[in-house]
Every structure is written in structure tokens, then in C-alpha cells.
């Protein structure tokens, strides 16, 4: 996949097309703030980047649709357009317009509309690049499996200004979280160290191995049953004797007798049983009756106590009064007819207080006598009532005792029933084991399992033949060695330190190392930005050469922004024409561009390079690659788009 052009739409009439040649080096040279750096961000955004990194300002204030035309190996062209997020006043949009290019150079503004999204674009580009279904699984499952897709493939196609001269990082987005590991996991696939259909083959092998293990376990179980059949049969017979389903006096000596005995037991049923019908309801009724009787007995005891107290108190008083009455009558103290109430009847002395009349005293005595007679008549009836209460109390006590005996009996029946259920449960388990043993027992040789196992092993062996004998690590080591050799051959074409050293790519650290005669020097310990830029070019061109030679599913373009920044900063352009004056750096810059152009030409139109830079070299190679020069008012955004417009706020219509 290469880039045919970049298209910017302001409206239906104002469209900017920036064309590129396929299979060649394309250079856009120009002054600062002309829009060069935005080209990588525009292409990346159109290819489905999650975020829009196009800087705020003139470009985002002037463009409605960003679009590119991509060309695949089959010569099919597709236009991919994405809405400027500023139109919706958001940071990014997921909708995408993708359509096969027609006869017109580019689609009209009115025909562009959202017909897909970034996920759909990722799947489309992965399919067009022929990225096979894959899943990279870490050893030991130490992290989530990675499905390699187009988003990983594009990491080798961009070298922004902030990356090309970086000594700590080599690849696009390498500084983002989890991306270094994603690069390490995906690069073996893109280099071809993993078969395209390796995942499917390995999954099929894993499935067949699971089936094989299951059949082997079944065979081992059958063989174990055969080996343990005799001891298992006699063990089950002893268990049957212990739980009472087989008479203890029965003697079994041979295996055949043991099997016959076990066959007679597998359908055994216990016929004598203790059955307690309605035990819960009967127990509840007895408990309720006992509680009612206890309550009634308590009431009777209270009544008996009250009656006994009443009799004791009342009849004790009556007896005392009777004794006093008898004493008075015996002395005949109060005579009828006595008139003087102030004379003491005992000593005849005068009294200060008059005594009651004799008639009144006698009347009181008579009334007392009548009361005593009535009390004497009531006493037998009270005693009879008290005795009745005591008889009722005894009957209730007998009823309570009977209920408690019945309750105890029910509890004993329930315990016996529970023990019987436990015993029957144990018997059922033993009978179940006997049935399972008899069903599993097969003393004949089953050849079907052996045939299935042999067949699966043969199928697994055939599938293993489809998997490369070399391990992933061995293939990666071989591929990396070839890449290292190529970089070591190319390094002399560039103006760098350690040009006579072996250059190698450290996959584990994602950096380059120069092996000198005395020590190994990693990129981050090398001085000079010129070294960093050159080594970035070395690894990317070496990788892309291998991608092309092995026909790997990676885009066939590389975009580089400001590779001469370490030699020719924009502030040194005093003439504002970008032309490098003859200097010590001019040789290094010329060697760098010659290297890029020569290597790209050696790929025979299979690779495209797009360079945006401030510098302009006076050489035929360089000038033949220049597509546009942005100076003297010529920029990415045409001046007529800005004339009369407020470039700070822009005039593109916005969607609320």
C-alpha cells in the first residue's frame, strides 16, 4: 500500500490536492510554518488513528474533510476521508468515508459522507494487506494475547520530526503505554517468523492433543479396572457384608463367583422397614396436649392452695371463738335482769364507764353461736370441694405422664427411622459402586480405543509437519542476522560514527547497537543527532527491504519529517530559500539523501518515501524528487483560502 495523494476539502469549490509518485522518493521542501509537519498527522488520521494530532490553527480552521488516496499491490485505489473534528467541536471522530476511486481524480465534496468507522477501516486495510488471522500468545500466558492488525503494521511507516532524531526510541508511538510490548509481539509476525496459518494449525494440534489425552485416560482407566478387578470385586463383597445386604456366612473364593454375587446384589432392595406415619403431626399433638394439661394443673394447684388457706384461716378463728363462748357460759357471768350498768358484775364496784346492757351482750353471743353453727355445717362441704380438686390434679398428672411416655416413644421411633435411613443410604452407595463396577468391568480386549489413539497420533504428526521445524526464536534470530548484516553494509554510505562496526538490532530493548572492536555501544550512548537520524534510517530501510523481499503485509511507504534538522536548523536559512550552502555538513546531508534515494530506487517501485524538509539541495537526484516547494507564500493551505478569513477562528461550518 502506497499514498497517491493527500486531498484537503474546504468546501465544494475549494479543494487542495497534493500528489505523490508511487515507488519513488517524494520531497516536499519549504519554509517553516508552511504545513510540512502536518502531513504525517493527516495521513495517520486518515488511516484510522484514535486521536487527531493535527495541530490547531490554520489547517484545522480551513479544512472540512481530510482525505488520502491509497493504492494497493493489485493496483486498486481507494479514497479514505475523515471529518475534521473541529467541525463538530470535538477532539476526534470515529466515522470514516471509504470508497473505491472512480474515473475522477478525486470524489466531489458533496459525495463524501460517513459510511464506515475506524474499526471497519482497520479490518478493511488488514484484509487488503492480507494480514492473516493470528493471535500472538505470550509464553506462560503472562499477558493478554495480541491480535496483529493494520494498526501495528503502520508503526513502521512514520518518522515524525520529534522521532527521527531521537536516541531513545526508534519506532512510531513507541513511547505510548503498552506499545513497546506490542511492537515486540507483532514484529515476529510481520517479519514472517510465524506461519500465516500457524495459529490455525497450532489450534488444531492443541485440540487433537486434548482428544488424545482423553482417550489415553480412558484406556488407562480400563486397564486399571482390569488390573484391579479381582481386589475391587472382593472389596465390594466385604462392604456388602458389613452393611447387611449379604449374609456374613457366605464364602466367595473365585473371581467368577464374586462377579455372580455382585450381579445378584446390584438390584437389591430392603423389604423390612420401620415406617412412622404422621410422626410429626402426632408428636405435635402430644406436645400441645401436654402443655395444655400442665397449664390446667397449674391452675388447679393454685385453687387448691387458695382453698386450703381459706379453710385454715376461717376454721381456726371459729374454734377460738367457740372456746371463749364456752368459758363465758360456764361462769354464767351475764345474768338477765341486771339493771345497773355502772356496777361491775364481778366485784360490784362502781365503773367510770357503763358496760353494755346484758341483753345486748347476750344477743351478740346468740348471733355468734348461730355463725358457729353455720360454719360447722359448711366445713364438710369445703373439705369435699377440696378433695375434688385434689382428685382432678392427680388425673391431670397421670395424663401428663402418659403424654411424656408417648413423646419419648415417638422420639425413639424417629431415631430408629433415622438410623435406618442412614443405613439404607450407605447401602445405596455400595450398590451404586457395585453397579458402576459391573458396568465398567470388561475383561475382553477393546481394540477400538487403540485404533482411535493411533489415528489421532498419526493426524498430530501430519499437522506437526506443517509447522516449521525451526522455532520462532530460531527464525527470528536468522532474520535479525540478515537485517543486521544489511545495516552493517549500508552504514558506510552514511556520515556516522562507528561506520566500520557491526550494527545490530536489539529486539528485547528495541534499540540499535554498534559492536566496535572494544565494546558494544547502544544508540542512546552515541553522541550527535546526526548519528541518531542515520541509525533510524538504517533500521527502517533494512526492515522494509526484508518486508518487500519476504512479501510481508506491511504498508510500502515511509514518511519522514525534517531529517536535516540536526544539520540545517530553519533559523540558519538566512536567504529563506532553504538551499544548503557549501559547508562541512553539506556532504553529510547529501550522503543521507543519496542513501534514501538510491535504496528506494533499488526496491524497484515497491517502496515509496515521502520526505518533508526545510532544506533544498542543488543536485539532480534531489531536485528530481521534489514535488512541491512551499516558499514565497506557497503552503499546504492555499492563500486564497485564507484571504478575507479570520484564521484564528476559521470559517468552516460547524455542526452543533
> What pLDDT digit, counting tens, does each position of 504-535 carry?
999 999 999 999 989 999 999 998 889 999 99
Q: Given this model, what pLDDT does residue 400 score?
A: 82
Which structural domain range is residue 403 located in?
A: 279-423
Residues 302, 305, 311: CA angle, nearest 5 degrees: 140
> Is 471 in a helix, a strand, or coil?
coil
Number of independent structural domains in the chain: 1
CA distance 649 to 642: 11
Q: pLDDT tens digits for 191-228?
A: 988 766 666 677 788 888 989 999 898 888 777 766 66
Q: pLDDT tens digits for 540-584?
A: 999 999 999 999 999 999 999 999 999 876 555 545 566 655 566
> Is 430 in a helix, a strand, or coil?
helix
From residue 566, alpha-carbon distances to 83, 335, 532, 614, 615 in Å are: 35, 159, 9, 12, 11
If you write DSSP's letter for every residue of 326-343 in order, what string do you get?
Answer: HHHHHHT-S-TT---TTB
**311 domain-assigned:** yes
CA distance 408 to 416: 12
CA distance 528 to 321: 139
Q: Given this model, what pLDDT does residue 638 score?
A: 94
Q: Which residues contact 596 (CB under 8 A, 6 or more apart)?
A: 25, 537, 541, 560, 609, 611
DSSP 559: E
CA distance 147 to 126: 11
DSSP 178: T
**230 domain-assigned:** no
- C-beta of residue 595 within 8 angstroms of C-beta of residue 493: yes
Residues of the chain with pLDDT under 70: 134-143, 195-200, 225-231, 243, 255, 266, 269-281, 283, 314-348, 351, 353-380, 410-421, 423, 427, 437, 440-446, 467-471, 569-584, 644-656
CA distance 67 to 50: 16
CA distance 431 to 434: 5
**Element (DSSP H or E) covering residue 586:** helix 584-602
CA distance 656 to 654: 6
In 340-459, beta strands by DSSP E:
none
DSSP 558: E
- What is the pTM (predicted TM-score) of this model? 0.62
**368 domain-assigned:** yes
Q: Which residues contact 259 (CB under 8 A, 6 or more apart)?
A: 233, 438, 441
Q: Which residues contact 132 (CB under 8 A, 6 or more apart)?
A: 196, 197, 199, 553
CA distance 94 to 104: 26
Q: pLDDT tens digits for 107-149?
A: 999 999 999 999 999 999 999 999 877 666 665 556 677 788 9
Q: Given this model, what pLDDT does residue 148 score?
A: 87
CA distance 490 to 484: 10
Q: pLDDT tens digits for 220-235?
A: 877 776 666 666 777 7
- C-beta of residue 38 within 8 angstroms of C-beta of residue 636: yes
> Is 348 in a helix, a strand, or coil?
coil
Residue 124: Cβ-neighbour burial (10 angstroms; 0-12, 13-18, 19+): middle
- C-beta of residue 488 within 8 angstroms of C-beta of residue 502: yes
CA distance 197 to 182: 20
Q: Count other C-beta atoms under 10 Å from residue 530's C-beta.
A: 21
**Element (DSSP H or E) covering residue 511:** strand 511-515
CA distance 97 to 83: 9
- C-beta of residue 8 within 8 angstroms of C-beta of residue 591: no
**354 domain-assigned:** yes
From the list 170, 41, 239, the residue with the least C-alpha distance to 538 is 170
CA distance 280 to 585: 106
- C-beta of residue 577 within 8 angstroms of C-beta of residue 540: no
Amino acid at each position: 500500500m502506497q499514498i497517491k495523494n493527500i486531498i484537503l476539502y474546504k468546501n465544494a469549490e475549494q479543494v487542495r490536492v497534493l500528489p505523490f509518485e508511487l515507488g519513488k522518493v517524494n520531497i516536499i521542501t519549504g519554509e517553516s510554518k508552511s504545513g510540512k509537519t502536518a502531513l504525517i498527522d493527516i495521513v495517520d488520521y486518515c488511516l484510522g488513528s484514535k486521536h487527531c494530532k493535527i495541530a490547531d490553527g490554520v489547517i484545522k480552521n480551513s479544512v472540512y474533510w481530510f482525505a488520502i488516496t491509497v493504492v494497493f499491490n493489485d493496483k486498486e485505489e481507494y479514497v479514505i476521508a475523515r471529518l475534521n473534528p473541529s467541525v463538530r467541536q470535538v477532539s476526534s471522530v470515529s466515522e470514516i468515508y471509504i470508497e473505491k476511486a472512480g474515473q475522477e481524480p478525486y470524489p466531489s465534496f458533496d459525495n463524501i459522507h460517513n459510511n464506515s468507522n475506524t474499526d471497519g477501516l482497520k479490518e478493511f486495510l488488514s484484509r487488503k494487506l492480507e494480514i492473516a488471522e493470528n493471535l500472538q500468545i505470550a509464553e506462560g500466558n503472562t499477558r493478554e494475547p495480541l491480535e496483529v492488525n493494520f494498526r501495528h503494521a503502520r508503526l513502521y511507516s512514520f518518522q515524525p520530526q520529534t522521532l527521527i532524531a531521537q536516541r531513545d526510541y526508534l519506532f512510531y508511538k513507541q513511547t505510548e503505554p503498552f506499545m513497546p510490548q506490542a511492537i515486540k509481539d507483532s514484529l515476529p509476525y510481520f517479519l514472517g517468523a510465524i506461519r500465516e496459518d500457524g495459529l490455525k494449525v497450532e489450534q488444531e494440534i492443541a485440540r487433537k492433543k486434548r482428544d488424545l489425552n482423553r482417550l489415553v485416560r480412558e484406556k488407562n482407566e480400563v486397564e486399571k479396572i482390569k488390573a484391579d478387578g479381582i481386589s475391587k470385586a472382593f472389596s465390594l463383597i466385604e462392604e456388602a457384608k458389613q452393611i447387611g445386604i449379604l449374609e456374613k456366612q457366605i464364602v466367595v473364593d473365585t473371581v467368577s463367583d464374586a462377579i455372580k454375587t455382585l450381579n445378584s446384589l446390584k438390584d437389591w432392595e430392603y423389604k423390612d422397614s420401620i415406617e412412622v406415619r404422621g410422626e410429626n403431626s402426632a408428636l405435635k399433638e402430644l406436645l400441645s396436649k401436654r402443655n395444655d394439661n400442665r397449664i390446667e394443673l397449674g391452675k388447679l394447684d393454685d385453687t387448691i392452695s387458695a382453698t386450703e388457706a381459706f379453710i385454715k384461716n376461717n376454721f381456726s378463728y371459729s374454734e377460738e371463738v367457740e372456746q371463749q363462748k364456752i368459758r363465758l357460759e360456764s361462769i354464767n357471768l351475764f345474768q338477765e335482769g341486771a339493771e345497773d350498768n355502772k356496777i361491775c358484775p364481778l366485784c360490784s364496784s362502781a365503773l367510770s364507764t357503763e358496760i353494755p346492757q346484758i341483753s345486748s351482750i347476750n344477743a351478740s353471743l346468740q348471733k355468734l353461736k348461730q355463725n358457729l353453727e353455720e360454719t360447722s355445717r359448711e366445713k364438710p362441704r369445703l373439705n369435699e370441694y377440696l378433695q375434688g380438686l385434689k382428685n382432678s390434679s392427680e388425673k391431670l398428672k397421670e395424663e401428663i405422664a402418659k403424654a411424656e411416655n408417648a413423646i419419648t416413644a415417638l422420639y425413639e421411633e424417629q431415631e430408629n427411622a433415622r438410623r435406618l435411613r442412614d443405613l439404607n443410604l450407605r447401602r445405596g452407595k455400595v450398590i451404586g459402586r457395585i453397579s458402576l463396577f459391573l458396568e465398567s468391568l470388561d475383561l475382553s480386549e477393546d481394540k477400538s480405543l487403540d485404533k482411535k489413539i493411533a489415528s489421532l497420533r498419526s493426524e498430530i504428526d501430519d499437522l506437526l509437519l506443517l509447522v516449521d521445524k525451526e522455532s520462532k526464536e530460531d527464525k527470528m534470530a536468522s532474520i535479525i542476522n540478515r537485517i543486521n548484516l544489511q545495516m552493517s553494509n549500508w552504514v558506510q554510505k552514511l556520515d556516522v560514527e562507528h561506520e566500520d562496526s557491526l550494527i545490530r538490532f536489539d529486539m528485547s530493548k528495541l534499540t540499535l547497537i554498534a559492536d566496535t572492536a572494544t565494546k558494544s555501544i547502544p544508540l542512546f550512548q552515541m553522541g550527535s543527532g546526526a548519528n541518531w537520524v542515520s541509525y533510524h534510517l538504517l533500521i527502517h530501510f533494512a526492515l522494509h527491504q526484508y518486508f518487500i523481499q519476504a512479501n510481508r503485509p506491511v504498508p510500502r511507504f515511509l514518511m519522514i519529517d525534517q531529517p536535516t534538522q540536526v544539520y540545517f536548523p530553519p533559523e540558519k536559512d538566512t536567504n529563506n530559500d532553504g538551499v544548503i550552502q557549501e559547508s562541512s555538513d553539506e556532504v553529510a546531508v547529501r550522503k543521507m539523501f543519496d542513501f534514501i534515494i538510491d535504496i528506494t530506487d533499488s526496491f524497484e517501485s515497491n517502496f515509496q518515501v515521502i520526505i518533508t524538509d526545510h532544506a533544498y539541495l542543488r543536485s539532480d537526484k534531489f531536485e528530481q524528487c521534489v514535488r512541491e516547494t512551499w516558499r514565497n507564500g506557497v503552503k499546504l493551505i492555499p492563500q486564497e483560502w485564507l484571504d478575507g478569513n479570520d484564521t484564528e477562528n476559521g470559517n468552516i461550518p460547524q455542526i452543533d
